[in-house]
Structure 1
Amino acid sequence: MKRFGSVLGHGIERITASALGPYQTAVVRIGFAATWLLFLLRELPNRHELYGPDSPWSWDMAQQLIAENHAFTALMWSDGRIWFEALYALAVLSSVLLMLGWRTRTMSVLFMIGVLSLQNRSIFMGDGGDNVIHLMATYLVFTRCGQVWSLDARRAARARTAPVGRSADADLEKAAQPVDRVGPVLWWALGLGLSVVTFMGELSGGWLLVFWGLWLSHGLWWAVGRRAPDGEGHRLLDVIVKLAHNAALLVIMVEACLIYATAGWYKIQGSRWQDGTAIYYPLRLDYFSPWPALSDLLASHGLMVMLVTYGTVAVQVAFPFTLFNRRVKNVLLAAMICEHAVIAVILGLPFFSLAMIAADAVFLPTSFLRRVAGWTARARGALFARLSRGRTVPVQRGADEEPARESAEHARVGFPS
């Protein structure tokens, strides 16, 4: 009993003292933001037919559906082309900034708004990966996904190492610290926009509480951290934020397991999966054959089709249970990532595969991710050194030392530029 209490106390201390999985949440953030960004850019010429005024799922039909399911989409606030173009641009911009990790708390909310607005406007557009992006965009709002590999991490590291005055006066040293002006301006601008939308009656019920709650919580966090960074109030808020992060991280992991478990168990019930021929049929469809010769080559080998069919079911059903064994989990994780890469090429579903790989990344080992960060930092340093050697313009003394110092700083905070 004493041992159980000790373990329980250690677990509680761990989830309240730190935001777990900083590298994993950073990879999830980058992966889903990049996937959504690439999709938006690829469909840029077709955006009006997919989600805009020229969509077969007309604005009136979408409005009727939204009235029934109460889903959130800002595209229902107006049917004008200018409003659609503005929201599409917001979705692209928020994806870029979230991927880079600039103001991740704010960008995660804007990213969610962009994803929900477009996907809920035309719910029949997508290939399955859109559902994963839909869910993860909501979960990311509650994570601290900018702890590493982000511009926020770089700014925080520079603030910690910024020189202060030599005076022993604490007030002077506090005044010498860099002041964040962008955050408050962004917060006030978004608050003004939220007030206008609320006054117009476009938000109501649960979504009204969600957005106002997020806005107020961000303001409270900044105000308490600015006035009393070492006070009891800030420590309490920090514990709450870490609990929310760890809970959202757990939800992301459980969601990924549910996706694989339900897919695997449903496959078991299908006769084509039971006789080992299920993979053969999509390979013979022109819609899923961007490389016909490659699809025909795979479909012509019956043993390969059977092994891939049974292997897919076995991996998906077994994966949630392998989380209790790290080595087996890592092997199956690598197998699933390779499987999604093959699906992207052979079946022509790149965004579905990218979304699933981004979801799988939450289970990647921290040691592996740190190793990747080290490789990236060294490659970046080598690139800077090569570019410096190739310069013919004289460089002022000390200029060559800055990239090396910045690279070392990024390696320390885990930022692979």
Structure 2
Amino acid sequence: MNTTASVARPQPLRERLRPSALWPRFVAWLMHRPHATIGFSILRILMGLSMLIVLVPSYADRQYLWGAGAWWVEPEASRRGWWEPLRVFFPKDNAVVFEICFHLLIVLAVVFVAGFKTRWVTPVLMVLWVGLSTNTTLLGNGGDTLMRIVLLFVVFADLSRHFSVDAWLRHRRGARLSFWARRRPAWVPTWLGAWLHNTVLILCVFQILLVYFVSSVLKFQGEEWLNGTAIYYALSIEQFHVLPALSQLAWQSAPMVALATWLALWVQMLFPLMILWKPTRYAAVFLITGMHLGIAILLGLWPFSLMMIALDLLLVRDGSWMRLGARLASLRRGSLRPAT
């Protein structure tokens, strides 16, 4: 008689994909524990850096861009229908209030990157960032709109579980419970924190899928994208020449320009399908991240590119990040080991 202990076999794919099995699995995924916590921590850092990339280089011209010298953008800014209380933080007719709020916004962005008191900093940062956006509606490259949407979502997410001062303090104090678990009233269900966090994850992923799908549909309506010349024309715009020599080098090879154009078009179009299977999901994230790095380096659109990369990386699971970290640590230990 075989005395070997029976090993539980994974359910066949047909059983796991049955409609009656999908809903319980989704509910368990949604409520048992927060997902993509490493991805959200990376998103926090890249989002804060995106804000600083906008604020710090513009520091000397802040009054002209958003303050008392920004009346040139009126009445267009007022016609956009912003909620009026948001406009009180950066008034064009009160330099003192403007300066206090502008410098506070920079400080909060730095604290946000560091991940200190993130639960309290995030909503205040959101209000001030949106308030600054109400003053000038003509300064932006798509990344600012996406940032405002995502900031509203991530107020309810766990952004500081990794790579943060909050995580360091929790480790130092030996507190293993999350902020939600420690501050949760007794009448609030235990699953609410995970549910909020994972709902934010779904909303953020939906947002990037929407961006890529709409972008690809619009690209298919442009002749330059279909004949493979769109990237050539983008790189030839002098206003976007951050590194002119590199931009000129990039368009020298017609086959490479055509390949990059078609690759950008089809990866964005097929992105919603590619993320359904793990191998193609990581291939899609790798390709789309490379595309955004190219946009940042060659066109100088760093805030937009960093926001898109941050959202794309939410598709990488915590387990994958941990395996990557373990692999890098193993390689580092091997490189430091003295030769015998």
Contact 2:275 2:281 (C-alpha < 8 Å) held by counterparts: yes
Work out which of the residue numbers 28, 31, 34 in structure 2 matches 1:16. Answer: 31
3-state DSSP of counterpart to 1:147 = coil
* Alignment gaps of 5+ in structure 1: 163-217, 382-417
Deviations 1:297-330 (A, max 9, x none): 2323222221111111011101111111111111
1:368-387 counterparts in 2 under 5 A?
368-371=320-323
1: distance between equivalents of 2:108 and 2:100?
12
Structure 1 residues 9 and 89: alpha-carbon distance in aligned structure 2, compared to 1, 3 A threshold = same
Contact 1:35 1:355 (C-alpha < 8 Å) held by counterparts: yes
Whichever structure has more helix as a proportion of its residues is 1
3-state DSSP of counterpart to 1:143 = coil
Please state how far the C-alpha of 1:378 moved relative to its aligned partner: 9.4
1:178-189 counterparts in 2 under 5 A?
none
Deviations 1:143-183 (A, max 9, x none): 11122222222222333369xxxxxxxxxxxxxxxxxxxxx
Contact 1:24 1:366 (C-alpha < 8 Å) held by counterparts: yes
1: distance between equivalents of 2:20 and 2:146?
38
Please state how far the C-alpha of 1:371 moved relative to its aligned partner: 4.5
Give the match for residue 82 of structure 1.
96
1:288-303 counterparts in 2 under 5 A?
288-303=240-255
Give the match for residue 120 of structure 1.
134
3-state DSSP of counterpart to 2:69 = coil
Work out which of the residue numbers 216, 225, 237 in structure 2 matches 1:273. Answer: 225
Give the match for residue 32 of structure 1.
47
Give the match for residue 177 of structure 1.
none
1:101 maps onto 2:115 in alignment: yes
Work out which of the residue numbers 287, 302, 326 in structure 1 matches 2:239. Answer: 287
Structure 1 residues 368 and 41: alpha-carbon distance in aligned structure 2, compared to 1, 3 A threshold = farther
1: distance between equivalents of 2:325 and 2:211?
29
Give the match for residue 139 of structure 1.
153
Give the match for residue 328 of structure 1.
280
Contact 1:268 1:274 (C-alpha < 8 Å) held by counterparts: yes
3-state DSSP of counterpart to 2:140 = coil
Structure with the larger RCO, 1 or 2 (CA within 8 Å, 6+ apart): 2
Contact 1:323 1:329 (C-alpha < 8 Å) held by counterparts: yes
What root-mean-square deviation, in Å, do the aligned CA atoms of Structure 1 and Structure 2 show? 3.0
Structure 1 residues 149 and 313: alpha-carbon distance in aligned structure 2, compared to 1, 3 A threshold = same
| Count of residues paired in the alignment | 315
Bigger CA radius of gyration: 1
TM-score (norm 2): 0.82
Please state how far the C-alpha of 1:380 moved relative to its aligned partner: 12
TM-score (norm 1): 0.68
1:142-221 counterparts in 2 under 5 A?
142-160=156-174
Work out which of the residue numbers 64, 86, 94 in structure 2 matches 1:49. Answer: 64
Deviations 1:238-261 (A, max 9, x none): 422321211111100110111111
Work out which of the residue numbers 203, 221, 226 in structure 2 matches 1:251. Answer: 203
1:398-413 counterparts in 2 under 5 A?
none
Contact 1:16 1:243 (C-alpha < 8 Å) held by counterparts: yes
Structure 1 residues 310 and 56: alpha-carbon distance in aligned structure 2, compared to 1, 3 A threshold = farther
Please state how far the C-alpha of 1:107 moved relative to its aligned partner: 0.9
Please state how far the C-alpha of 1:63 moved relative to its aligned partner: 6.7
1: distance between equivalents of 2:36 and 2:141?
29
Deviations 1:2-34 (A, max 9, x none): 975454334323322212221111111111112
Contact 2:48 2:109 (C-alpha < 8 Å) held by counterparts: yes
3-state DSSP of counterpart to 2:31 = helix
Give the match for residue 4 of structure 2.
none
Give the match for residue 187 of structure 2.
233
Percent of pairs identical after alignment?
Answer: 24
Please state how far the C-alpha of 1:266 moved relative to its aligned partner: 0.6
3-state DSSP of counterpart to 1:42 = coil
1: distance between equivalents of 2:87 and 2:327?
41
Contact 2:43 2:310 (C-alpha < 8 Å) held by counterparts: yes
2: distance between equivalents of 1:91 and 1:379?
40
Contact 2:77 2:137 (C-alpha < 8 Å) held by counterparts: no
1: distance between equivalents of 2:300 and 2:77?
32
Contact 1:17 1:242 (C-alpha < 8 Å) held by counterparts: yes
Please state how far the C-alpha of 1:232 moved relative to its aligned partner: 4.3
Contact 1:74 1:113 (C-alpha < 8 Å) held by counterparts: no
